[in-house]
Structures are given as C-alpha cells and as structure tokens.
Structure 1
C-alpha cells in the first residue's frame, strides 16, 4: 500500500512543479522582464543602480534575471542555476532598493521569492527539458 501511494503522488508533484515553474516564470517575465525589453531606453533612465555599476549594467543584469532565466526555468533547462539570478535580483530589490516596503507593499516580490526558492530547492521535476534529454545536471 505504501509503494502505491508513493507512485500515485509522484506524478502530482511533477505536475505541481511544472505548474509552479511555468506560472512563476510567466508572471516574472510578463510583469518585469518584457516591459524592460520593450521600453529599454526609458528603463535606462529609471532603473535603480544600487551598487554604482551603471544603469546599463543594472538593466542588462535585470533583463538576464527577468527574461532569460524565466525562459530557462519554464522549459526546465538549467533550472536550479537559473533560479539563482532571479533570487539575487529579488533579494537586492527587497532589501537594498526597497527596504522601507512592508510585506503588503512588496508582496509580489516576496511571493516570487517563495516560488523561485521552492523551485531552486526542489528542482524542475520530471516534466522538464533537462529531464527529457536525460541529463540531470541540465536541470
């Protein structure tokens, strides 16, 4: 009976991880990443530069974390690695750029940290490109 329950629940977990990856990646890409690409020139004038590396570097780093990484996460390729820049940008945003925000004001950022933190801990699951090509190190 115990083996049956383990086998029965495994596909649900993999479907849950797929849903978490795709929905989290879509939200990050749609709300933050895509607008940075479409309005690149404007974003250069308004992006925060918390480390003094220049607006262009900060914007390109944000685009990498909010466009490239979500695509990798959604398809399940280099998933855990791709979560790291996302989490880094979110941590910088929440603790350095907007430290005055309450949990309510920064709830989207906190929820994204929960989503991508869970994916980083759990991995992409079975329904991922890295798993499909049979190379665990790509997940």
Structure 2
C-alpha cells in the first residue's frame, strides 16, 4: 500500500510526540519516583486518602509503565488515561491555587497526552504489528 507524504509526515509527527513526551514524563517524573521510592513516600500528596504507598505506586504506574507503552506504541491510547488522570488530579485537586503559568508544565503534558489519546500512536508503532484490540487501544 502506497503511503502519501502527508500520511508519512503525520506518522513521523505522532512518533516524535509519543517518544519525546513519553521519555520526558518518564525522565522528569517517573524515574525519580521509582529510584527514590522511600524519599518520595514522604513527599507525595494523597488527595484521595489511599495512603502514601498506594498513591505512589499508582503514580509510578502512570509515570513509568504508561510512558514506556506510549513510546513503543503499544496500547498507547489506553496508556494515556492514567497519565491524564494523574495530571488532572495534580492540576485541579492537589494544586488548584496554581495559575496557568505556574502549572504550565502540567497543562502542556495534558495537551500532549490528550493529543496522543485522540490521534492514536500512528503507523510507526509496535501495535501496528499486533492483532485485534491491541492495535486500536
């Protein structure tokens, strides 16, 4: 099947968005939580009173495993949901006093991962080679 230049450019753009956004979230937020778990237990907010341990484990899931799936393009849309949830909780529940300028990093990540959620991973994704539901999630 012949792919047009516009389709190629769109797929390269989605690949760049997935990889850069996923690695950025992983590096800036996920790995510090994972690698310094004990210290992070003292710092993490617990807005739903689940306990610091469970809250941190859920944050690590959203900020380590989900970005890796998004970078690979496996279950990318589904993997965006926990990230979007964590971002919305951080911006609207944990830090409601932040101005747009103060929360701009979070808002930009929200825009980025919402775009991946809407557009999907594109054709340059591992999921393109996978059968069934994994391909579209």
**1:52 equivalent in alignment to 2:49:** yes
Name 1:117's counterpart in structure 2: 114
Match of 1:62 among 39, 59, 63: 59
**1:137 equivalent in alignment to 2:130:** no
Where do 1:34-45 residues align within 5 Å? 34-45=31-42
**1:21 equivalent in alignment to 2:6:** no
Question: After TM superposition, what 4+ stretches of structure 1 lie above 6 angstroms from structure 2?
Answer: none
Provide structure 2 residue ranges, at least 5 long, that are not aligned to the other structure.
none
1:60-108 CA distances to partner (integer Å, 9 max, x unpaired)?
0000000000000000000000000000000000000000001111111
1:8-62 CA distances to partner (integer Å, 9 max, x unpaired)?
2000000000000000001100110000011100000110000001000100000
Match of 1:107 among 64, 87, 104: 104
Counterpart CA distance in 1 for 2:100 and 2:20 is: 22
Counterpart CA distance in 2 for 1:48 and 1:122 is: 31
Q: TM-score, normalised by structure 2?
A: 0.94
Change beyond 3 A, Cα 1:49–1:41: same
Aligned residues: 134
Q: TM-score, normalised by structure 1?
A: 0.93
**1:86 equivalent in alignment to 2:83:** yes
Give the 3-state SS of the residue equivalent to 2:12 in structure 1. Answer: helix
